[in-house]
Amino acid sequence: MPKLPRGIQRQRVMKAFRRAGWEIRPTKRGTKHTVMVKEGVEGILSIPRHSTIKVGTLDRLLETAGLTVEEFLRLLK
């Protein structure tokens, strides 16, 4: 099983989730997270507004999104 790469840029992570069908939900000005939602999925993805996303955070996002590491790595390309 491949490991998640370290230090993936936030914009690349969000682009991969958009490819998987997630959409950005508008939030209040000044929030520290970007919220993404997907039709038919109960949970939300709360992506911190840091330049890179930590591996542990990304792991939890994948769990919520129902994606495997392999699927996510394919979406990153």
From 4-8, 21-25, 52-56, 60-64, the region with the lowest mean pLDDT: 4-8
CA–CA dist 28, 59 (Å, integer): 26
On average, the pLDDT of the chain sits at 95
Per-residue pLDDT tens digits for 23-50 = 999 988 888 999 999 999 999 999 999 9
Q: What is the torsional sign of CA 74, 6, 52, 39? A: positive
Alpha-carbon 14 to chain mean position: 5
What are the start-end ranges of the E strands in the chain?
8-9, 23-25, 33-37, 45-48, 52-53
What's the confidence (pLDDT) of residue 28?
Answer: 86
Domains (ranges, CATH) in the chain?
8-76 (3.30.920.30)
What's the confidence (pLDDT) of residue 74?
Answer: 97
